[in-house]
Chains A and B, each alone.
Chain A
Amino acid sequence: MITSLMARCGANPPARALFRTIISPSLESGVDFYWVALAVLKNIVEDIEGADGRLEYVLSLRCRLVEVLQQMDSILSPANRSVGRDHRLVLALTEGISFLDLSGAQLASALRFAEPNLSYADCRDCLLSFCNEVLGVIPGPIPDAQGPLAQRQVLRAMRDWSKAAEAIGSDLSFLEARFGDL
C-alpha cells in the first residue's frame, strides 16, 4: 500500500489501516455498503476492463466510479447523509471520500482529473489500479454478482445477512428492490 496510488497522491495513513477504524453505523448500512460494492463497483471494474480502446467510455466510467464511491461513503457516514445523484461527483471531488481517507484534491489527483489529453491506456490503467486498491481495502470477501457463480454467491450472502438481521432485529427489506435491479 505504501507505493500505492493512494499513498502517492498523499493519502495518509494508508487506507487499509484507516478502514479498520471505521465501524458501520448499523447492520443495514454495512449490508448496503457491501451491496453497492458487489453490484455496482465491481460492475464498473468489469466495464473498464471491457472498454476496448474507447477513451470517452472510460472517462464516463471515471465519473461514475467517483459517484459510486461517494454513495458508499455516505452509506457509512454516521448520519447516513445520502445525497442526490446529481451532486455525488461534486461532493466527492470537493469533500473527498472518508472511508478511503482521501481528500477531494487527493481523489482528483489519484484519478488524474486535472490532466488534459489523458490517453485511453493511461486512463484505463489508472482507473483499474485505483479500483483494485479500493476493493483491496474493503475487509472480507465481496460476493461476486457478475460471474457464472454470481447467483449462488449473492444468495449465500443474502442468507447470511438475513440471519444476522433476524438475530438483532434489523430490517433488510430495502434489499428486495436492490435485488430486483440487479
Chain B
Amino acid sequence: MIFKDQIAAYAAAAPNNAIRNTEMFFQNYAIDRLQFEEFALRPFDEDSTTFYVSTVPRGFAGSKSDLDLILVANADDADNGISNMLFFNERRVGNKVIRRSDIAKSFELVAAALETPPDDRLAAIAEVNRTLPIKWADLERVVNGVSFAAGAPYAPYLGLVSRWTVHSSLVNYRQQLIFASLAALAGSPLATYGYMQNCLAGAMDAVMAACGQVLTNTKWTLPRWKLFRECATGNVVRQGIELVEALAQTFEMHRITTAPEPAEASTALSFYFDRLLCKFESKGEKRFVLTSKTQSHRFLPAATLLSQRGRNAVTDSKALEAILSVPCTAVESLDHVQAQLALDLLARDFIVLSGWRVVT
C-alpha cells in the first residue's frame, strides 16, 4: 500500500535534505545560526534534543515564516506540550516541549493500529487518533525534523507515518467524492467544485504519502504537489500524478457550469488507488447514519426534528428516511432535494457516513 522503493529513497535522502534546507534558510535570510540556537535554548533547562521542524527543514520557509522548534525532553516527567513564542531578528520562534517517551509510545500505538486486521483497521486508527499522547501533527513534524546537532534520528519512522497518512488521505478522498456527488445531484456546480478541491487534496496527499512525503498542514498541499509532480520518478507514481492532474483539470473547467458526475469522472483514479495503495469498500449494508447524539422526533408525523447539542433541524421524515436507506456509495438514487438535504445534514453533523472497511 505504499511505494516502498520510493519511501526508502526519500527517507535515505531526507536527513541531508533537511540539514541542507536548514542551512540555506539561515544563509538566505542572513540569520546567525549559532546565536539563534543559543537564544532559543535559553529558556529551557531540560535534558533535551532540539529539532527544527515544519517549513524550515522542509525547504518551504519564506520571508515571514516562523522558526518552529520541538524540544524532545529525555525526562519522563518533563512538562509535556508546554510552548512559548519568542522573537529573534523580528522573526517569530515557536518552541514546544515533548517527552521522548511520548513519542516512542505514539509510534507503538500507530504501528499497532496499522497492523490491526483490515476489517477493524479504520476503527483502530480513529481510536488511536483520539488517544495519541502527542498531537499527530507534532509526530509528523518531529519525524521530518532535524536536530540542532544530531541529524534526523526519527527519519526511519517515515514509512510508518506515510502508511498512516495514505489511510487517512484516502478516507478523506472517498468521503469528499461522496459529498461532491451529492452536490452534483443537488445541482450546485460551485459546491461540487468546492468538495472536489478537498477531494483532490486528499488524492494528492495520498500519492505523495505513498512516496514518503508527508506534511500535515494542508496549506502546503498544493505547493508540495507542484514540486512533487515536477520531480517524481517511476512509471507507477507518474501514472498516479497524471490521473490526479486529469481530474483536477476536469473540475477546474467546471467551476460555474455543470460539472461531470464526480464518481464517474474519478473512476480511473479510484481504481488506481484500489489497485496500488489501499482498497476500501462499504462495510456490509452500512448507510448514512444519524450521529449518536441526534434523535429523530417521535411526535411529528410529517417532519423530523433533529437536535444535537442544542442545534435543531426540522426536516421531512420521508426525505430523511430515503437518505438513511441509501448506501452511501450509491447516492445517485437520491433526487436533488434529498441530495441537498443530505449535504445540509452532513455539514451540521446530524448524519455521518461511515462504515468503510479496508480490503487490502
Contacts and interface: CB of A to CB of B under 8 A. Distances in A.
A84 B179 contact: no
Interface in B299-354: 310-312, 343, 346-349
Contacts of B219: 47, 57, 60-61, 64
Interface string B198-237: 1000000000000000000011111101100000000000
A113 B92 contact: no
Interface stretch (B154-162, B183-191, B276-284): B183-191
B312 A93 contact: no
Contacts of B195: 90
A79 interface: yes
Nearest to A47: B219
A49 B190 contact: no
Contacts of A60: 218-223
A104 B225 CA distance: 28
Contacts of A63: 197
Interface of A: prevailing SS? helix
A50 to B, nearest CB: 3
B265 interface: no
B347 A89 contact: no
A39 B183 CA distance: 31
B90 interface: yes
B59 interface: no
7 contacts: A56-B222, A56-B226, A82-B311, A87-B346, A89-B194, A113-B190, A151-B85
Nearest to A116: B252
Contacts of B165: none
A46 interface: yes
A138 interface: no
Given A50-B62, A64-B219, A93-B191, A83 B348 contact: yes
A148 B194 contact: no
B59 to A, nearest CB: 12
A94 interface: yes
B311 A81 contact: yes
Interface string B11-31: 000000000000000000000
Contacts of B194: 89-90, 93-94
B294 to A, nearest CB: 14
A54 B92 CA distance: 21
Contacts of B270: none
B113 to A, nearest CB: 22
Contact of B223 (A49, A54, A116): A54
B253 to A, nearest CB: 8
A110 to B, nearest CB: 14
B64 A56 contact: no
A50 B347 contact: no
A66 to B, nearest CB: 9
Given A50-B65, A56-B226, A84-B347, A93 B190 contact: yes
Interface in A136-172: 146, 148, 150-151
B92 A146 contact: yes
Contacts of A56: 222-223, 225-226
B311 A52 contact: no
Given A63-B197, A89-B198, A180-B81, 14 more contacts: A49-B64, A52-B62, A56-B226, A57-B219, A59-B222, A60-B221, A64-B219, A82-B348, A86-B347, A87-B179, A93-B191, A94-B188, A108-B190, A114-B255
